[in-house]
Amino acid sequence: MCGIVGYVGPGSSLEVLMGGLRRLEYRGYDSAGVAVLDDDGELGVRKRAGKLAVLAGELESDGIRDGHTGIGHTRWATHGGPTDGNAHPHLGDDGRLALIHNGIIENFAELKAELADETFTSETDTEIAALLVGRLYRETGDLTEALRRAVARLEGAFTILAMHRDDPGVVVGARRNSPLVIGLGEGENFLGSDVAAFVAYTKRAMEIGQDQIVTIRPDSVEVTDFAGNPVTPTQFEIAWDASAAEKGGWPSFMKKEVSEEPAAVANTLRGRIHDGRVTLPELDAIAEILDGVTRIIVIACGTAAYAGMLGRYAIEAWSRIPIDVELSHEFRYRDPVLDEHTLVVSVSQSGETMDTLRAVQYAREKGARTLAICNTQGATIPRESDAVLYIHAGPEVAVASTKAFVAQVTALYLLGLDLAARRGTLSPERIAELIVELQNVPDKLDDVLDAASSRIAEFTRWLAETQSVIFLGRHVGYPVALEGALKLKEIAYIHAEGFAAGELKHGPIALIEPGQLVIVLVPSPRNDDSLHPKVVSNIQEIRARGARVIAIAEVGDVAVVPFADEVIRIPFAGPFFEPILGVVPLHIFAMEMASAKGLDVDQPRNLAKSVTVE
């Protein structure tokens, strides 16, 4: 939540900041602002409520002077509504210091009382930090020291960037439980909430650890801990190009990212399969626990949690290790039983979700070992875990997660196959067969996209007025039903619920009245699990009560035809692979419904992509 960018160097600060904010806008889009120090030493600040385009328009018609030191912010409101006044940057009391912030300062009321003699111009917690750092700068004459002393007073989660009129060519940053990475240029340096902020300028980046302070100048980067001890940060190469974070001709990022679902699965598999075996050297760091693990707990939120639910079916079936899936924000409040034989697997696209990060930290404190499944290099959750499996899905910009979901499921399946091989719970031949099925998924996903896209676009036109949709699935179809419902709520603002189809008669069937739209994931009749006839019976039960039914069913499954108003076909796949295919029509459905209602599918209301507050 909130995107942050900082720049020092010979280039145009406004260009770097606005380009960075455009790539970070997925993190928050209710207001935006920039501060730039021009060559005459004047500090120009411009900030506006609304999306970044409002600020961009204003800068074009009535701009501030450009310069070589600047900070920029795109906001997701926490303290104080989305107004011009609450937008960042905020200024110190003498107007010489500008500061931006991502996170929540929990002791802000106490600090505000201490600063009672100041005049407050906003309702934000951030302004407190700006006033504090401004005062401390006057005392110390050193921006890094002023920030260090200020963060010692702050409680909560924060990334803070600050710059001062009297210190041209310097931007300082501090982080605790919120993301910040450094971009290393030639004669210029950058700070950003993630590498998307500066990937257009450099692919060399450095991680900043927990409770660290960074000072960037055009030709130097210094990192220390909050106590002032020097730190040598880890450097890494950004694995994707700036163009990967651009729409590239697609009408929306979401449409582009849905089209990339086949590639996301292929990229997760790439380099990890050799001679019919899974090879995951990333797991070496936890090899000894993997050999003796007695229990796995997957922690995640939202779509990532549904990926975790799918992972459970496969990992438990293949490795025979008991596995639970829990929402991260519930996990640590129920005093779970954890020990050194428990493996806690976090699933997070951003690697920054605060609820998941806190749950990982809690699990480690309690002695469990932790594995992160993550998409974002340099993110906090992998850094705070014992091992990480990156999904390599490429940057996901649309707020609603799509390609990361199929890649997360793929990574969990690789983990399941690795565990089955280690424990000998599946024969090498069976593992090789399952690997082939997994490798076939990208091509099958291409077929689903070809067949489903235009068909769904056609019939959503007559469904745009729909007020409520029910999604049904059994076994691996159940998490997919939940994911379909979440996507529809999230981007099309339509009330939707996902149910396990077997649960219908225990209550939810009372919701069915004539015209109710129900989308059903129908398992393949060819998979030997006797689920197909049960789901077909469920469809008959709801049809008898007047429901309109859209079935997602395998090519050639004729049993559903008499009972469905529409059938979306997916290719045959084994039971664990079917849901990766079945979810794609649901992603398309939500996207088309939102488009039919004229909504912005990339930036749905009230949401932000990376939820860095609890």
**For residue 114, what are its two tokens?**
């201490």
> For residues 554 and 581, what is the distance between their CA atoms, to the nearest angstrom?
10
CA gap 381, 358 in Å, rounded: 9
Q: Which is nearer to ligand F6R, 350 or 527 (CB)?
A: 350
> Is residue 370 involved in binding ligand F6R (CB under 6 A)?
no
Reading the block at residue 11, the tokens are 């280039």
> Using CA atoms, how far apart are residues 568 and 575, in angstroms rounded to an integer?
18
Closer to ligand F6R by CB, 301 or 419: give it.
301
Q: Is 520 an interacting residue with respect to ligand F6R (CB under 6 A)?
A: no
- CB of 469 vs ligand F6R, minimal distance in Å: 16
Q: Is residue 564 involved in binding ligand F6R (CB under 6 A)? A: no
- Return the residue of 302, 378, 484, 571 that touches ligand F6R, per CB under 6 A: 302
Query: To the nearest whole angstrom, how small is the minimum distance from the Cβ of residue 419 to ligand F6R?
Result: 22
Q: Does 411 bind ligand F6R (CB under 6 A)?
A: no
Q: Are 378 and 207 in contact (CB under 8 A)?
A: yes
Of these, 8, 368, 480, 611, which contacts ligand F6R (CB under 6 A)? 611
Residue of 2, 255, 301, 487 marked active site: 2
Q: Is 134 in the site for ligand F6R (CB under 6 A)?
A: no
Stretch that binds ligand F6R, among 140-148, 333-341, 347-355, 465-473 (CB under 6 A): 347-355
Q: Show the 3-state SS of 290-347.
A: HHHCCEEEEEECHHHHHHHHHHHHHHHHHHCCCEEEEEHHHHCCCCCCCCCCEEEEEE
Of 393 and 568, which has the nearer Cβ to ligand F6R? 393
φ/ψ of residue 425, rounded to 5:
-80, -15
> Residue 71 or residue 304: which is nearer to ligand F6R going by CB?
304
Task: Please pick, from the candidates 78, 215, 353, 453, the single residue that binds ligand F6R as defined by CB under 6 A.
Answer: 353
Minimum gap (Å) between residue 357 Cβ and ligand F6R? 9
For residues 167 and 141, the answer to whether their CB atoms sit within 8 Å is no
Binding status of residue 516 toward ligand F6R by CB under 6 A = no
Contact mark string toward ligand F6R, 452..491, x via CB under 6 A: ----------------------------------x---x-
Closer residue to ligand F6R in complex, CB, 129/485: 485
Q: Residues binding ligand F6R: what is the number (CB under 6 A)? A: 15
CA nearest to 549, candidates 463, 448, 449, 458: 463
486 vs 567, beta carbon nearer ligand F6R: 486
Phi–psi pair at 498, nearest 5 degrees: -105, 135
Closest CB to ligand F6R among residues 399, 542: 399
**Does 264 sit near ligand F6R (CB under 6 A)?**
no
List 159, 177, 350, 527, residue binding ligand F6R (CB under 6 A): 350
Which is closer to ligand F6R, CB of 14 or CB of 371? 371
CA distance 370 to 361: 9
| Phi and psi based region of residue 487 (left: phi greater than 0; alpha: psi -120 to 50; beta: remaining) | alpha
In terms of Cβ atoms closer than 10 Å to its own Cβ (0-12, 13-18, 19+), residue 567 is buried
Q: Select the residue interacting with ligand F6R from 98, 214, 266, 304 (CB under 6 A).
A: 304
Stretch of residues binding ligand F6R (CB under 6 A), selected from 60-68, 216-224, 275-283, 343-351? 343-351
Judged by CB under 6 A, the stretch of 123-131, 344-352, 438-446, 498-506 that binds ligand F6R is 344-352
Q: Which residue of 122, 124, 348, 516 would you call a contact of ligand F6R, by CB under 6 A?
A: 348
Question: By C-beta, is 131 or 393 nearer to ligand F6R?
Answer: 393
Using DSSP bridges, classify how beta strands 31-38 and 67-75 pair: parallel, antiparallel or unpaired. Answer: antiparallel
- Computed from CA positions of residues 101, 104, 107, 113, in that sequence, does the dihedral angle turn out positive or negative? positive
CA atoms within 13 Å, Cβ hemisphere of 161: 30
Calpha distance 613→105 (Å, rounded)? 11
- The whole-angstrom separation of Cα 182 and Cα 221 is 9
DSSP states of 186-233 as a string? Answer: SS-EEEESSGGGTTTT-SEEEE--TTEEEEEETTEEEEEETTS-B--P
Q: Pattern 381-410, binding to ligand F6R, x per CB under 6 A?
A: -------------------xx---------
Under the criterion CB under 6 A, does residue 612 sit at the interface with ligand F6R?
no
SS3 457: helix
Q: Choose the stretch contacting ligand F6R; rule: CB under 6 A; options: 128-136, 174-182, 250-258, 345-353.
A: 345-353
CA distance 614 to 327: 13
Q: Catalytic: which of 255, 403, 444, 609?
A: 609
Q: Counting contacts by CB under 6 A, is residue 492 touching ligand F6R?
A: no
554 binds ligand F6R (CB under 6 A): no
- Tokens at residue 591, please? 């996207």
Over the range 190-214, which residues count as b (16 or more CB within 10 Å of their CB) and which as e?
A: bbbbbbbbbbbbbbbbbbbeeebbb
Is 2 known to be catalytic? yes
CA 393 to chain centroid, in Å, comes to: 12
Q: Cβ closer to ligand F6R: 154 or 397?
A: 397
Q: Which residues are catalytic?
A: 2, 609
Contacting residues toward ligand F6R, per CB under 6 A: 301-304, 348-350, 353, 356, 400-401, 486, 490, 610-611
